[in-house]
Amino acid sequence: MKERLQSIKQEAITEIEAADTQKSLQDVRVQFLGKKGKITEVLKGMGKLSKEERPVIGQLANEVRDEITASIEEKADLLEKQAIEEQLKAETIDVTLPGRPTHTGGPHILMKTIRDIEDLFIGMGYEVAEGPEVETDYYNFEALNLPKGHPARDMQDSFYITEELLMRTHTSPVQARTLNAHEGRGPVKIICPGKVYRRDTDDATHSHQFTQIEGLYVDEHITMSDLKGTLNVLAKHLFGEDREIRLRPSFFPFTEPSVEMDISCKVCNGDGCSVCKHTGWIEILGAGLVHPNVLEMAGFDSKKYTGFAFGMGPERIAMLKYGIEDIRHFYTNDVRFLKQFHQV
């Protein structure tokens, strides 16, 4: 019996050592300590022993059972620790790995250009004014001294909704609306950004919908030199201190006199190149002194008040500034185009 118990113990220890999962360890437990296990078997056979032998073998059997139990428990602990360690190793996060990039959006380059110009004028005391994109014939044309029959009112050029309503063709109606709201009292000093619409066929330089920024300053004693000084600040802000401006006589029904402003060509420095069509100058905007008719129609006394106005296209400005060759890039929202301007 004694030998049998010793060999059971050896056998158990070998099997416990060999067990490498909780499952196989559990099998060992059943095999040796279970109801039909080897130790139980020995204990059952004790009846056959002599009185003297019984307590000795009984004690030995208990000792062997306790030892086996203890070493199974020890092994179970070890296996559990190993399992935890393996899991930790598998789930380890390498904090030194670079993160996955998140794609953030940014303001559209056209919006940035508009904001930049707005900010400049806000700094000079202008307020931002807005008007409707669906405009009346009166504000879009008539209040701006565009008489009936003027070519710009042609159905070819404008999106009419009814006889009297159209998609505004420029931001100039905001001038007339704001003047009206001031009821004949100056000063009026506004900058008006917004969308405008024309019946143009889209190509590299035309779009049926684009943006404009209008400026208007009406007060007593406003002269051409105020306009020139303001436009000079604008041109240098947009294109750099070394840019020069030139005012060319022009015609707009709502200004008299009217001018167009050119800036000196940055590409050739005035020598002439394809960007400036070999003139050394690039046209940027239209401007002039507000026509007395426009002031009077809005209830301003044109003997007391004078003013200047200007209108420009942010697309054109951005195209010149960043070398964008097709106006359609602004509206087709190709991310490869847009993201180039996130840092500017």
Q: Which residues in this chain contact ligand DAH in the complex, by CB under 6 A?
A: 170, 172, 214, 252, 255, 286-288, 309-311
Q: Closest approach of Cβ 332 to ligand DAH, in Å?
A: 23
By C-alpha distance, which of 69, 61, 67, 2 is closest to 29?
Answer: 69
Q: Closest approach of Cβ 240 to ligand DAH, in Å?
A: 24
By C-alpha distance, which of 257, 264, 252, 188 is closest to 225?
Answer: 257
Q: Closest approach of Cβ 288 to ligand DAH, in Å?
A: 5
Closer Cβ to ligand DAH, 37 or 313, answer by number: 313
Q: Closest approach of Cβ 248 to ligand DAH, in Å?
A: 12
How far apart CA 32 and CA 43 sit, in angstroms, is: 12
Closer Cβ to ligand DAH, 72 or 176, answer by number: 176
How far apart CA 139 and CA 144 sit, in angstroms, is: 7
Closer Cβ to ligand DAH, 224 or 267, answer by number: 224
Q: Closest approach of Cβ 227 to ligand DAH, in Å?
A: 9
Q: Closest approach of Cβ 268 to ligand DAH, in Å?
A: 27
Helix (H) or strand (E) holding 140: helix 137-140
Q: Closest approach of Cβ 113 to ligand DAH, in Å?
A: 17
Full DSSP string of 42-107: HHHGGGGS-TTHHHHHHHHHHHHHHHHHHHHHHHHHHHHHHHHHHHHHHT---TTSPPPPP-----
Q: How many CB atoms lie within 10 A of CB 25?
A: 19
Closer Cβ to ligand DAH, 37 or 311, answer by number: 311
Closer Cβ to ligand DAH, 170 or 316, answer by number: 170
Q: How many CB atoms lie within 10 A of CB 36?
A: 9
How far apart CA 285 and CA 309 sit, in angstroms, is: 11
How far apart CA 106 and CA 338 sit, in angstroms, is: 9
256 marked among binding-site residues: yes
Length of the chain: 344
Q: Which residues contact 217 (CB under 8 A, 6 or more apart)?
A: 126, 187, 188, 189, 226, 230, 307, 308, 309
Closest-by-Cβ residue to ligand DAH is 311
- Which positions make up the binding site? 256
- Which positions make up the binding site for Mg(2+)? 256
